[in-house]
Each structure stands twice: as structure tokens, then as C-alpha cells.
Amino acid sequence: MKLTDEELHELAAKQTALGELRGTPAADPVNVPMIRHWLAAMGDENPAYLERGLAPPAMAQVWTMPGLRDRPKDRSPVDDLMAALDASGYTGVVATNCEQVHHRYARVGEVLTPATRFTGLAGPKRTALGVGFFATWTVTWYAGDDEPVAEMMFRVLKFRPREKKPKREPYPLRPAVNQDTAFFWEGVRQGELRVQSCADCGLPRHPPGPLCPQCRSANRSYAVASGHGSLYSYVVHHRPPVPGRETPFVVGVVELPEGVRVVGNIVDCPIEEVAVGMPLRVTYRTMDDELVLPMWTPGEP
Amino acid sequence: MSGERDVLPELSIDLTPTLVVSTALATMDPTPVHHDPALARAQGSKDIFLNILTTMGLVERYVTDWAGPAAVIRRIDVRLGVPAYAGDRLSFTGKVVSRADGELTVEVRGAVSLGDHAVGAVTLTLPEGEDPC
């Protein structure tokens, strides 16, 4: 069940109030084969342990790990809270702190019993991984009835993983990008409306092309338009259907103060309010992960 | 408190897959991300990585390698950082930061190529005359 942040804190307070809950005693007493195996794996050549019949202190938790065998799960004040955090969207987990206090070394032959108490929940806090709660608990390992041998404080961050943007379906239509038009689409990518102009006589022209219709020069340049314009003419397209588009939509011819007219969709405007002469400004629509198209929306003159 | 004798010799450990898997076994931890590369990658990890019990064991080993068999570990406090993946190398550095009444506190840093895997402090006691410094 999804809990609010307040309810999570209430549950945490309840779990803390449960105090220390005893778990199942270790399946095996502290023993030489497991110590020898651990020392070899760690590359630890300290002779003190095997010579004196003592367990390496950092092994405390190892004696009560369930391993591969299914053992009846201990009642723990931690599990309910972790489940509630998962259900509330804080599904990520990463350990942040582990602090061990060793009262003495466990001796070969002793059977350790763990006991767990929940000690605190802090959050929600903003972290590099996402917003989350820090949950802290302590496990104490007892030898015999009530002699604590080791304690371990463990803190984890339960975080809400950042949402990955769902990949968009590719938009089925692509503009024709070629030597003549590449500058225009590069401008769109950068949020600029570029209008081609003649590098010799300065005449602006659109759509872009290789030659100046006035002076026949092949020297091309462009200017960045203000992005404002007015609706010169339009049609409302009802059918046939257009892949990737919902009908009806408006195709307009927009007159720019820079001296050219461009074709584009009129968006963010009820169709019945579209009118010749209306002021427009350019807007950029992300169609899929790669394609951005310029469109026109009602704007200040 | 800042003489060269207070600085622990470095210890560099190659995190071979064998080390990652054998320490997972020795710590009774069958969680697949510590031995199954395909599953670890499916969960977004680069490879299998050390479990926390092993990190604590290696920090303990690093300090007792230096302090000698007479040392008695009292506390190990570790702040956990980036994962220690198979194929990487874990390099420990450390220095004594306090010494009083036979009790030493050693600051330890365990770095991998991605940054600090574990940063912490180990407190230990030594019988009189056994101070390694």
C-alpha cells in the first residue's frame, strides 16, 4: 500500500517502538572451516584467529547469514518498513553506512543469535540518486543468552529512481535535408528560424535554393528571423489522413517582416479562431527523439 | 601525529572475479549480483561487485596486516561509496589519526577507478609496547 511521507514516519516510529527482536540462532557454531575459508578468500594472513580459536570480528554477520538454504524468515522490524517504502515508490536501495562495534571476538564453539532493532528513518531528502529516505537499524549478536559480542549499525538509502523518459515512436515524416536546406534545419535544432539571403545583393528568399532569383548569384548567406509573423493564408486539412498527425489541422502561409513567406502548421489555436492577418510567433515541437519542427502559435504582433 | 610512521603502507588488491565470488561464498552471501555477471548487468551494474561484508573484511585485514596479530579490533566504521567491480583494483591507504590509552584510530580509504569505494575509521587496542608506529 502506498503511504504518504507522514505515514512512513509513523510506521517507522511504530517499528522503532517494537524495540529489539530476536532472530534465529546461527545454523552452525563459530567454527574453524568457515574461518579458514573466510581468511583465504580475504587474503588475510593474521595467524591470531586460528591460533587462539577466535573468529575474525568482521565475520559476526556471516554466522547468521541464511546462505542458499531456505530458512524460516526471522521476524524483523525492518522488513515491514522496507516493504512500505517499496510500495510507496522508493524502490531503489543503496547501502550508505556500516558501523561495527566489537565487544569481544567470538570464540570457536559459540552459537551467535542476532537481534534487530529499527533505529530511525530520515527524509525525504534529495540525493544524487533521487529523492529518498535513509533507514537505519542495528543488529546485535549475542553469545549464550545475553552477552553481546558485536553490534552493527546499517544504513541504507531507499530512493525513488529517476524516471527514464519513454522512448518516443519515430515520427513517420522527415524533412528533406540537403545541401540547400541543411542550414535551416540546423537552425531549428538550435531554436533559430533562419532565412536564406543572397550574399551579393542581400535579397532574402524562402524556400532556400541554390541561386538568387534577382542577381543569379550562387553566394548564399542567411539571417536569423525574429520569429514573428502574420497569417497570410491557410487551409484546414481534414483528409486524406496524414501519417503521424491527427486531423483536422491547419497549414498556414506565414508572412515574415523579414520579407518572405513560410509554410507551417498553426497550433495552440482553436480552428474557428484561425484568421487571415492574425499575429503569430514561431514555436518548436519535438516530434520524436531526433526531429524538431517549427510551427506557429498565436502571438503578439 | 603526522610523522611518516603514522602512515600505513598501501595495499592494492586486484578484484578478480575469483576474489569477488570466493568472498561472496565465504561471507555466505548468495545474492546473484556478486557472482552472476549476466544478472548483474541486467540490473544496470557494470559487472559483479564486492558485497559489503567483504568490504568490511578487507578493511579489517588492511589494518591488522599493519597492526599485527596482537591488535584487537574495537570498531569499524565505513561510509560506502561507489561499487567495487570485478576487474577493478581496490587500493587502501590509511593513517593514524588518534592515539590515547593504548587505543588507536586509523583512518582508511579504499579507492577504485570510479572513486572512493569505502571511507572510514578503524579503532583498535594494542598491548603495551606493541604499537607498530
φ/ψ of residue A44, rounded to 5: -90, 115
Closest Cα in chain A, distance from residue B4 (Å): 24
Q: Which residue of A has its CA nearest to B15?
A: A42
CA dist A12 and A136 (Å) reads 10
Give the three-state DSSP class for A235. strand
Return the higher-pLDDT residue of B123 and A245: B123
Mean of the pLDDT values across residues B5-30? 96
- Which residues are CB-contacts of A272 (< 8 A; sequence separation ≥ 6)? none
In a domain, B43, yes or no: yes
In a domain, B131, yes or no: no
Closest Cα in chain A, distance from residue B19 (Å): 7
Task: Determine contact, residues B74/B123, Cβ cutoff 8 Å.
Answer: yes
Return the higher-pLDDT residue of B80 and A246: B80
pLDDT recorded at residue B131: 65
Q: Whats the size of chain A, residue-wise?
A: 301
In a domain, B132, yes or no: no
Distances (CA, A) of B132 to A46, A251, A290: 15, 84, 63
φ/ψ of residue A134, rounded to 5: -95, 120
Query: How remote is the C-alpha of A147 from its chain's centroid?
Result: 46
- Which residues are CB-contacts of A256 (< 8 A; sequence separation ≥ 6)? A195, A225, A226, A228, A229, A262
Whole domain around residue B21: which residue ranges?
4-125
pLDDT tens column, A135-147: 999 999 999 888 9
In a domain, B130, yes or no: no
Cβ-in-10-Å burial (0-12, 13-18, 19+) of B39 comes to middle
| Confidence at B133, pLDDT banded by 50, 70, 90 | low
**Sign of the torsion angle spanned by Cα atoms B50, B54, B56, B57:** negative
Is the confidence at residue B15, as pLDDT, over 90?
yes
Is the confidence at residue A115, as pLDDT, over 70?
yes
Closest CA to A153 of A74, A111, A73, A95: A95
- The H or E element spanning position B38 is helix B37-42
> Cβ A105–B72 below 8 Å, yes or no?
yes
Is the confidence at residue A87, as pLDDT, over 90?
yes
In a domain, B84, yes or no: yes
Task: Determine contact, residues A208/A198, Cβ cutoff 8 Å.
Answer: no
φ/ψ of residue A173, rounded to 5: -105, 140
Is the confidence at residue B5, as pLDDT, over 90?
no
pLDDT tens column, B85-131: 999 999 999 999 999 888 999 999 999 999 999 999 999 998 876 66
The gap between the terminal CA atoms of chain A, to the nearest Å, is: 53
In a domain, B60, yes or no: yes
pLDDT recorded at residue A279: 95
Domain count, chain B: 1
In a domain, B68, yes or no: yes
pTM, two decimals, is 0.70
Task: Determine contact, residues A124/A95, Cβ cutoff 8 Å.
Answer: no
CA dist A186 and A250 (Å) reads 25
Q: Report yes or no: A294 at the B interface, CB cutoff 8 Å.
A: no
| Confidence at A282, pLDDT banded by 50, 70, 90 | very high
CATH number of the CATH domain containing B46: 3.10.129.10
Distances (CA, A) of B15 to A135, A178, B128: 30, 52, 36
In a domain, B117, yes or no: yes
Mean of the pLDDT values across residues A202-209? 92
Closest Cα in chain A, distance from residue B1 (Å): 25
Nine cell digits for residue A214: 534577382
Is the confidence at residue B3, as pLDDT, over 70?
no
Q: Report yes or no: B58 at the A interface, CB cutoff 8 Å.
A: yes
- Which residues are CB-contacts of A127 (< 8 A; sequence separation ≥ 6)? A157, A159
| Confidence at A181, pLDDT banded by 50, 70, 90 | very high
CA dist A117 and A14 (Å) reads 11
Task: Determine contact, residues A122/A134, Cβ cutoff 8 Å.
Answer: yes
> Cβ A102–B56 below 8 Å, yes or no?
no
Q: Which residue of B has its CA nearest to A92?
A: B43
> Cβ B26–A98 below 8 Å, yes or no?
no
Helices (H), chain A: 5-17, 32-42, 48-52, 79-87, 182-189
CA dist B77 and A45 (Å) reads 22
CA dist A198 and A245 (Å) reads 35
